[in-house]
Amino acid sequence: MLKMIKKFLIKLIHFWQRKTPLCRRLVLFESRGDLADNSYPLFEYLLSINAPYKYVWVVADASKYKNSRQVKYVSQGKTSFAAIWYFAKAKYCFYTHNYCGIEGKKGQKRIYLTHGFSYKDTKGLFFPPDFHTDIVCLSESHKRLEEYINPGSAQKVRILGYPRTDVLVSKNYKLPGEFEAKLCGCSKLFIWLPTYRSHNELQHDDSKQDRYDLLSPESLQIINSALVASNSVMVVKFHPAQQLSKINVRGLSNVLVFSDADFAAKGIRLYDLLARSDALITDFSSVFADYLLCDKPIAFDISDIGIKSDGLRGFVVDDPLQYMPGVHVCDASGIAKFISSVSEGRDDYAQERANQRTALHKYTDGNSTRRILSCFGLID
């Protein structure tokens, strides 16, 4: 009975939203990882200049946040009455992941900030292009990729850059004092950001480590020893969908492992941390494209690239290795060598990174936040 009532109310809201006018001064934001990703810098900038808008944030759990006169928080979901209500009312909707599935309205701007540039084949995994009025991308290369992933989207693409990368150029990062204290005295800061892996057995449980053993206690000890020898620290931040319960990090003095929830609790923003870092270790994650703006060394973990190529999510290029401008590592000893190399000041892939940066980024000025807000008429 309750489900029937809910369905009826949702249909009623859908009918209502087609009849009611938009709130011209209402801006809706959403991101994976509440108040994060490409949406947050837009929101933060508008607040900083006292722009004449009211804001709604669609978050995982609105009860964790306190509403104010200018900002309201609502829980996400296609059956969330409040989310549907505000998606229907807002003149501007900026989002990266979730939406309510309701039809757009004339005059409404639904701006998909996308997930990032990646050579992974994600066709069919994300939103249908009909939902968006605009799609934000980095470059012509990114535009072509978006057209492949979402056929028919090319006319909606706006090449404006990503707000989240502005701090990588400006270096105006902010980290909690307690966290900075942990880094005090270390020679180099390494960031390891593995992408989500779903190939490990049928349960998609990567922590079983039978086919991806860089997270084994033995591998992590090798990496930790290299960090100790070079007086360096590594922050490992896993994909939000990753299972971490079986990853053993006990006894690792120089390896700090975080989840999204840990970052949120400590007030750490990933891109502030990237701006502070000296080198990146990743694999197939889209973060490598953003990190090119830092012009710092990158190591690519290719230990399971064969599985990735013939698994559920392959690549959009025949040979992804040639598009990875950095050291290619297959095991913990490879990561240890990369740590030593960076600590000694060696950087053998600067030109390759520059070539990729030119191909993937139209803008390298650190002004994407203002460019997007100006493009869609929220600021002059």
State the DSSP H helix or E strand holding residue 329, giving kind and residue range, or none if neither. Answer: strand 327-329
Region of 183 on the Ramachandran plot (φ > 0 left; ψ -120 to 50 alpha; else beta): alpha
Assess whether 38 and 57 both reside in one domain: yes
What does the alpha-carbon distance between residue 46 and residue 185 come to, in Å, rounded to a whole number? 36
Assess whether 249 and 204 both reside in one domain: yes
Assess whether 70 and 110 both reside in one domain: yes
The angle that helices 332-343 and 217-229 make with each other, rounded to 10 degrees, is 10
Torsion of CA 182, 287, 229, 305, to 10 degrees: 140
- Give pLDDT, residue 124: 64
- Pairing mode, strands 279-282 and 255-258: unpaired
Assess whether 146 and 215 both reside in one domain: no
Assess whether 195 and 331 both reside in one domain: yes
- Within a domain: 205: yes
Listed ranges 5-14, 157-166, 179-188, 232-241; the one with the highest mean pLDDT: 157-166
pLDDT tens digits along 98-129: 666 667 788 999 999 988 888 777 766 666 66
- Give pLDDT, residue 106: 85
Confidence of residue 292 (pLDDT cuts 50, 70, 90): very high
Which of 58, 24, 16, 96 is closest to 372 using CA atoms? 96
Out of 62-66, 70-74, 75-79, 214-218, pick the least confident: 75-79
State the DSSP H helix or E strand holding residue 360, giving kind and residue range, or none if neither. Answer: helix 350-360
Number of folded domains in the chain? 2
Give the bridge partners for 73, in sequence order: 57
Is a pLDDT exceeding 50 seen at residue 206? Answer: no
What CATH code is carried by the domain that includes residue 114?
Answer: 3.40.50.11820
Assess whether 215 and 355 both reside in one domain: yes
Assess whether 30 and 124 both reside in one domain: yes
Is a pLDDT exceeding 80 seen at residue 264? Answer: yes
- Give pLDDT, residue 21: 86
pLDDT tens digits along 166-185: 999 999 999 999 999 888 88
Assess whether 210 and 306 both reside in one domain: yes
What does the alpha-carbon distance between residue 174 and residue 35 come to, in Å, rounded to a whole number? 15
- Within a domain: 6: no
Cα 301 → chain centroid? 19
- Within a domain: 54: yes
Q: Which residue has the higher pLDDT, 52 or 209?
A: 52
Assess whether 371 and 320 both reside in one domain: no
Is a pLDDT exceeding 90 seen at residue 235? Answer: yes
Assess whether 57 and 119 both reside in one domain: yes
Is a pLDDT exceeding 50 seen at residue 204? Answer: no
Residues 50 and 24 sit within 8 Å (Cβ to Cβ): no
- Give pLDDT, residue 154: 86
Task: Provide the domain limits for residue 90.
Answer: 22-166+365-375
Tokens encoding 5: 């009532």
Confidence of residue 43 (pLDDT cuts 50, 70, 90): very high
N-terminal to C-terminal alpha carbon distance within the chain: 51
Assess whether 55 and 196 both reside in one domain: no
Mean pLDDT of 192-196: 78
Confidence of residue 251 (pLDDT cuts 50, 70, 90): confident
Assess whether 150 and 178 both reside in one domain: no
Side-chain half-sphere exposure of 198, counting CA atoms within 13 A: 7
- For 249-273, the DSSP string reads -TT-SSEEEE-HHHHHHHT--HHHH
Q: What is the DSSP letter of 232?
A: -
Mean pLDDT of 82-86: 86
Cα distances from 347 to residues 20, 230, 244, 285, 320, in angstroms, run 58, 16, 32, 21, 21
- Give pLDDT, residue 209: 41
pLDDT tens digits along 129-161: 678 899 999 999 999 988 888 888 889 999 999
- Give pLDDT, residue 17: 67
Residues 88 and 16 sit within 8 Å (Cβ to Cβ): yes
State the DSSP H helix or E strand holding residue 3, giving kind and residue range, or none if neither. Answer: helix 2-19
Residues 112 and 135 sit within 8 Å (Cβ to Cβ): yes
- Give pLDDT, residue 333: 95
